[in-house]
Amino acid sequence: MNIKYGIIVLLALLIYKANAQQVVLKGLINSSAGSAIPSATVRLYRVADTTLYQQSSSDAKGAFTVKVSGSFVYHLKITAIGYQPYAQDVRSGSDVLKITLQPQVTNLNEVVVSSPPSTISVQQGKLTYNVEQSATATGSNVLELLRRTPGVNVDQDGNINLKGSPAVNVMLDGRMTYLSGQQLSRLLEGMNAGTVSKIEVMTTPSAQFDAAGNAGIINILSRRTNKAGYALNISSGMTVSRYVLHAESLNGNIRTGKVNFFGSLGYNYRRRFMQETSTQLSGGSTLLRDGINPNQSRFYSYKGGVDINLSSRQQLGFSYTGTTDDWSKDAAGTLTIFNNANQVTSRVLSHDYAKEPFYNNIFNLNYLLKLDTLGKVLSADADYIGYRNFSDGYLNSNSYDPQGNLIGGFQQLNFHQPSIIHIRSFKADLTLPFKTWKYKAGLKYAAVETDNKFRYDSLANGVSTYAPSLSDHFQYHERIAAAYGSVSRKWAGTDLEAGLRAEHTNLDANAIAAGQRNTANYLSWFPTLGITQKLAQDQQLDLSVSRRITRPNYTDLNPVRYYIDKYALYQGNPQLVAETSWLSQLSYTLKDRYIASISYNHSDHFIGRTATVDPISQLLTLSTGNFPHRDRLELQIIIPVTLAAFWEVQTTTTFSHTAYPVAQLAGPLTVTKDAVDLFVNQTFRLPAKITFELQTRYTSPDLNGTYMSRYYFTMDGGFKKSFLNKKLDARLAFADLFHTGWYWGYSLSDTLPYSYKNTPDSRRLSFSLVYHLGGKLTPGKTHRTEEQDRL
């Protein structure tokens, strides 16, 4: 691998030496309010023949660069969703252009309405949920925001799915979270939506991103200002549902000429209630479960950092992010067992208590060197991530006969689970733009170490006894070394990008008590190809093809047993292997607003949810397994419509066809399902500058591992009003108006007739106030440290 890395770096350096001198046209795009406008489309046309010469887009600071040659006059056009188009003639070699875009204005019957940027926008294949523009974000946490993001689904356990697959990477300000489904959901549940600026969804990332995550990347951007001076947001909110909840946060920064200090503090008190029912048929008996699963959390978050401009070409940054989650649950349930004559044979009453404080510390050091003024950049990031989780609790049960007499006495299992995770990573990227081609190359190394000791003690007659057959000690070590190279070129009307990424994986998963040890050492190659073709003015086609990989979550490899009740548990699967996929997508875009895309994903060793039952003990085991393969065809259509000067509607409709084999008594059987996911976002601009937003989502039944998930429907809405010259924002929002946000489904395998329905306390009313001091906070700086959230 060292030889391959050396070849890539050597080729990049040779290309750098061969570079010819060229001129770069630079600019800075702001709104009339003075805030930076990211993701604006910048097009440069030749004045002589009006053909498209170059195209680019503005970054998070509103800055853009376009490479030109010679001393010529060009026609510059800039467009951004929610703003009026901008055009002017410019000459190569000009000073930095300072451009101000005005909000889109619609005239109807002499009424003038100013339109801020849309809540949902799509540009260059990336879907963006502008959280700070949304009135429905009030009283929400970040996990709830993802439930309202088109194309993203969150199940009853908080697992995040994109394009029908849990193989998605979740980043915070460009850095991977490194967490498992449950740990990630708890982190996102603790984050107040008021600290978030945008959520970006990328389904076809390029070769410079980690190859992990077959479905794509979700990037959650926090707020930070890029202008000199200071900015501070103070927010407080209250939510009323089954419980009264509240959240407070401070978020801001101070920027001088060369130094930018930033930080945030947050507290979120949340409680959740879930009514859980299920039916299981096994060995001629029917097991009916009915229980409640309430939990509560006191979530503290704290963040601080500094960015320093060492010179006009060098930047150095350091940041620390920490969270503390004081989480606990106190669940109870009744299991009723019927015989084949539908007569009650016994009842089991269970009580499940757990207290799990969770600590998260992330340190980042980053450096950027501009090799010249033409866009050649060398960047480096080093990260250390430490997680600690100390779980203590018990599960007890009493069994009764049909007459209510106690059977077998009181039973209780106590557990203690210290879990420690260390992650170290380093990456370096080199960007070399030339006259006609742009080259990128990079290296990355990541080391992961996890240590999980799970101890069970059986309590009988007041005496606690160690239960070695139920306990385990799981250790996992993983080393991934990666290198990539990519080239891109722009012709008149055509953009091309091709890349190749190599990843060498060395892992060792050791379940010490169970005596199960799995090791792997392999090299994988991941090519990517992207082509954009301009068809005519305001029309384009995008084609992308890539190969990706999803490695198993570390907790899914751990064979330790997590008991739900006396007859049900979750257990990891140490035999899991990595899932690999080929993903292709073709998109058509009209006026940067109307988008239709068709995609196809073929996966081998697809990782999904499984369930089995012991016919003798009737013990239900939930787990994760490999399905031989999976095929998914998807059509997505995004249509924004202005129905009136005060009323805008955007619909995102996704049609899908999914197929893969599921185990049956007579052998594997391929199951198929056609599904639709409809997301409608309506914005009403009412008198007195009040904004009302209404979001409706319907998801039809769809496949989910060995289960068929039934339909999901919810409606959320909110009002937003600004006071004191937009210094104070007041928001009133409701969630799940008709209380229809259920999670229910059934098993597709005849080896286990099983169905479930979970009903959360999702209908809520929230009110919040946000006070702005100083400047306006915008999306924070993104460090592209890509690593799979698999812990």
pLDDT at 781 over 70: no
Q: Which of 192-201, 359-368, 752-761 has the lowest mean pLDDT?
A: 192-201
Is residue 17 helix, strand or coil? helix
Tell me, what amino acid is at 667? G
pLDDT of residue 25 exceeding 60: yes
| Closest by CA position to 655, among listed 678, 682, 679 | 678
Q: Which residue has the higher pLDDT, 620 or 523?
A: 523
Residues 6+ apart with CB under 8 A from 770: 194, 233, 234, 235, 728, 729, 731
Range of weakest confidence among 273-287, 508-522, 609-623, 643-657: 609-623
Q: What is the predicted pLDDT for the residue at 112?
A: 37
250 has pLDDT over 70: yes
Buried b (16+ CB within 10 A) or exposed e, 155-188: bbebbbbbbbbbbbbbbbbbbbbbbbbebbbbbb
Residue 783 has pLDDT above 50, yes or no: no
Confidence bin at 719 (pLDDT 50/70/90): very high
- Does residue 456 surpass a pLDDT of 90? yes
Give residue 45's pLDDT: 75
Q: Taking a C-beta distance cutoff of 8 angstroms, is the pair 613, 563 a contact?
A: no
- Give yes or no for residue 509 having a pLDDT over 60: yes
pLDDT of residue 144: 76
Q: Among 223-227, 261-265, 345-349, 458-462, which is the least confidently predicted range?
A: 223-227
Torsion angle defined by CA atoms of residues 202, 208, 212 and 218, in that order, rounded to the nearest 10 degrees: -30
In the chain, the largest separation of any two C-alpha atoms, in whole Å, equals 95
Q: Are 592 and 78 in contact (CB under 8 A)?
A: no
Q: Is the dihedral of CA 5, 7, 11, 14 positive or negative?
A: positive
pLDDT at 83: 81
Provide, rounded to the nearest whole percent, the portion of the chain with pLDDT above 90.
41
Q: Can you give the pLDDT at residue 129?
A: 74
pLDDT band at 8 (very low <50, low <70, confident <90, very high): very low
Mean pLDDT for 485-490 is 91
Structure tokens at 567: 């007859």
pLDDT tens figures, 282-314:
878 899 999 999 999 999 999 999 999 999 889
Average pLDDT over residues 324-352: 94
Average pLDDT over residues 666-677: 93
Residue 243 in this model has a pLDDT that exceeds 90: yes
Check whether 674 has a pLDDT greater than 70: yes
pLDDT at 216 over 80: no
Q: What is the pLDDT of residue 787?
A: 38
Give the mean pLDDT of 573-590.
89
CATH says 2-105 is which class? mainly beta
pLDDT band for position 197 (cuts 50, 70, 90): confident
Lowest mean pLDDT among 152-156, 357-361, 482-486: 152-156
Identity at 102, one-letter amino acid code: Q
Average pLDDT, the chain: 83
pLDDT band at residue 153, thresholds of 50, 70 and 90? confident
Asked whether the predicted pLDDT for residue 633 surpasses 90, the reply is: yes
User: In CATH, what is the architecture of 120-779?
Assistant: Beta Barrel (2.40)
82 vs 62: CA distance, rounded Å = 15
| For the chain, domain boundaries | 2-105, 120-779
Distance from C-alpha of 559 to C-alpha of 572, rounded to nearest angstrom: 4
Q: Is 125 a residue whose pLDDT tops 80? A: no
pLDDT band at 225 (very low <50, low <70, confident <90, very high): low
pTM of the model: 0.76
**Is pLDDT at 268 greater than 70 in this prediction?**
yes
Residue 593 CA to its chain's centroid (Å): 23
